[in-house]
């Protein structure tokens, strides 16, 4: 069969497709396998994306042919391919008519990922029309709830000073609660690290009451609201509900201090959607451990971190790990800024499509991965605002004077950037920020090379 005539139509314009609102649009970079013609491969890719096979089918009829996935852009030089997926191809919930991300991923990055004719194909962006986007739940709770609990402005309450409990594994219940308490003395939010769950040395039944007690003490002593974000990632919705119920019981007299998070990649869309449906009254964070296996910029397959992040907002994450845009220790660079913008705005430009969110609640960026007080000012300068949740691990618990000082150093780093102050000059009057230079010396040598001349025994300023 002539795939090219049927599955490629370069006369279709994106503006018309967007205006008509009848398709999901998807932008890929595709590289044919050796010896394969580009347009022939694009046509096979589109055919596989919709009808799911390459051979003539006696079972097809006019109705099914009208649901073909069509390539409306195909540029051999750059490999850019854009497909239009008719909305009727997607699966909608029996219960509430909502669309499903597992169906969406199945069509956009399903079997086509393994086609022998294709050396590599990666999904970089997608556009959803209003009629499809608004069937997703979106966030039920936003960062405004946390800002309110912290006594901040609810529109632009500034950086929530958060930490990820370290070491990642090995602390027993008392150690976890004490580490969290020490951080809360100076900070706002403590998040479980991704693999922290119900380990034998830290069973939830013991850990959660101690954590609640530590949070309560920190709130009473500081007079400020505090937040614990509990990891409820697991394989089974019943298990998730059981874990969350234990936390709800432990935090029964301070529910506004309890948030949940799940891994949007490893535990997947169902975990996130289920948590949103069952515990929507609580801030719901989306972690993404493992995501680089498919999203890494070094991989030319799978889908990008931008795609993963946009999906998490649709599924209802109140906050989403967005990476550090090259200012931390994980992959990424300054050009990743649109990732944070796409989830936190009412309309935003992605790498290939502008997206209007049609009133869906916003998600907040959760910034994590090697961030400390020294790296924060330049990260903030690149992002241009500080209305997000910081989740520092080593940057909080690696401070030489302990977690409380670590938390204060991070808060002071935000203040330094807000004042557009010179970090070394600012540090002179901000002891915890100054001690961050000693805590993260190799970063200080790169970011603030003159610091050793100012903070030295000779200047009597350590
Ligand atoms: C950070 C962290 C975070 C990842 C998340 C870790 O610790 O706890 O989970 O950085 O990355 O285990 O690496 P540090 P992302 O602060 O000590 O680096 O947000 O990019 O998914």
The string of pLDDT tens digits covering residues 199-231 is 999 999 999 999 999 999 999 999 999 999 999
- The answer to whether residues 229 and 190 touch, using CB atoms and an 8 Å cutoff, is yes
- Residue 35 belongs to a domain with what CATH number? 3.30.70.150
Residue closest via CA to ligand 1's atom 4 equals 369
According to the 3-state scheme, what is the secondary structure of 12-45? CCHHHHHHHCCEEEEEEEEEECCCCCHHHHHHHH
The pLDDT of residue 1: 60
Ligand 1, residues 330, 363, 392, 439: which to mutate, most atoms within 8 A of Cβ? Answer: 330
Residue 458 inside a domain? The answer is no
Active site residues: 166, 287
- The tokens describing 70, both together, are 């069509």
Q: Which of 26, 45, 54, 68 is nearest to 118 (CA)?
A: 45
User: Would residue 2 count as lying in a domain?
Assistant: no
Nearest residue by C-alpha to atom 10 in ligand 1: 369
- Asked if residue 154 and residue 102 are part of one domain, the reply reads no
Which atom, in ligand 1's list, is nearest to the CA of 291? Answer: 21
Residues 192 and 235 occupy one common structural domain: yes
The number of the ligand 1 atom at minimal distance from the alpha carbon of 391 is: 16
| Long-range CB pairs of 217-224, under 8 A, 24+ apart, other chains included | 217/181, 218/181, 218/184, 218/185, 219/184, 219/254, 219/257, 221/185, 222/184, 222/185, 224/150, 224/151, 224/188
DSSP 8: B
Q: How far is the CA of 370 from the centre of ligand 1 (A)?
A: 7
Query: Measured from the CA of 330, which atom of ligand 1 is nearest?
Result: 20
Q: Is 452 a domain residue?
A: no
When divided into structural domains, the chain yields a total of: 2
Of 133, 154, 174, the last residue of a domain is 133
Q: What is the pLDDT of residues 401-419, one digit of tens each?
A: 999 999 999 999 999 999 9
What pTM, to 2 d.p., does this model score?
A: 0.95
Residue 407 belongs to domain spanning: 143-447
Instruction: Give me the residues of the chain with pLDDT under 70, please.
Output: 1-2, 457-458, 460
For ligand 1, whether the C-beta of 329 sits within 6 Å is yes
Same structural domain, 165 and 282: yes
User: Does the C-beta of 399 come closer than 6 Å to ligand 1?
Assistant: no
pLDDT score recorded for residue 342: 93
Decide if 455 is inside a domain. no
Nearest residue by C-alpha to atom 13 in ligand 1: 369
């Amino acid at each position: 069969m002539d795939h090219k005539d049927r599955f490629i139509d370069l006369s279709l314009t994106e503006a018309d497709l967007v205006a008509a609102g009848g398709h999901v649009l998807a932008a890929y970079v595709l590289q044919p396998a050796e010896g394969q013609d580009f347009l022939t491969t694009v046509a096979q890719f589109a055919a596989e994306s919709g009808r799911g096979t390459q051979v003539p089918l006696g079972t097809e009829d006019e109705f099914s042919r009208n649901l073909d996935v069509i390539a409306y852009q195909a540029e051999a030089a750059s490999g850019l391919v854009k497909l239009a997926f008719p909305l009727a191809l997607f699966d909608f919930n029996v219960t509430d008519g909502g669309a499903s991300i597992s169906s969406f991923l199945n069509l956009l990055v399903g079997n086509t990922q393994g086609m022998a004719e294709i050396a590599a194909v990666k999904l970089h962006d997608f556009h959803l029309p209003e009629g499809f986007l608004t069937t997703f739940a979106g966030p039920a709770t936003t960062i405004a709830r946390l800002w309110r609990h912290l006594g901040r402005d609810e529109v632009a309450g500034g950086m929530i000073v958060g930490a990820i409990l370290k070491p990642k594994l090995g602390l027993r219940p008392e150690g976890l609660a004490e580490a969290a308490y020490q951080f809360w003395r100076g900070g706002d939010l403590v998040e479980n690290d991704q693999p922290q769950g119900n380990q034998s040395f830290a069973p939830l039944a013991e850990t959660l009451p101690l954590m609640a007690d530590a949070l309560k003490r920190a709130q009473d002593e500081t007079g400020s609201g505090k937040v614990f974000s509990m990891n409820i990632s697991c394989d089974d919705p019943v298990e998730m509900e059981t874990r969350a119920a234990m936390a709800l019981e432990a935090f029964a007299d301070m529910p506004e201090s309890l948030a949940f998070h799940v891994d949007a990649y490893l535990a997947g869309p169902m975990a996130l959607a289920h948590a949103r449906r069952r515990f929507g009254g609580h801030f719901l964070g989306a972690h993404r451990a493992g995501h680089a296996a498919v999203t890494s910029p070094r991989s030319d397959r799978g889908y990008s971190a931008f795609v993963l992040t946009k999906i998490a907002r649709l599924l209802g994450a109140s906050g989403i790990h967005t990476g550090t845009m090259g200012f931390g220790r994980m992959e990424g660079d300054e050009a990743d800024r649109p990732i944070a913008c796409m989830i936190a705005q009412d309309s935003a430009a992605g790498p290939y499509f502008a997206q209007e969110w049609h009133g869906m609640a916003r998600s907040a960026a959760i910034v994590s991965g090697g961030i400390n007080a020294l790296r924060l000012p330049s990260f903030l300068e690149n992002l241009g605002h500080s209305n997000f949740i910081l989740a520092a691990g080593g940057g909080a618990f690696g401070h030489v004077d302990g977690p409380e000082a670590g938390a204060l150093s991070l808060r002071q780093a935000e203040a330094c950037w807000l004042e557009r102050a010179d970090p070394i000059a600012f540090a002179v009057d901000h002891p915890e920020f100054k001690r961050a230079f000693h805590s993260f010396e190799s970063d200080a040598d790169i970011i603030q090379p003159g610091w050793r001349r100012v903070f030295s025994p000779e200047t009597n300023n350590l």
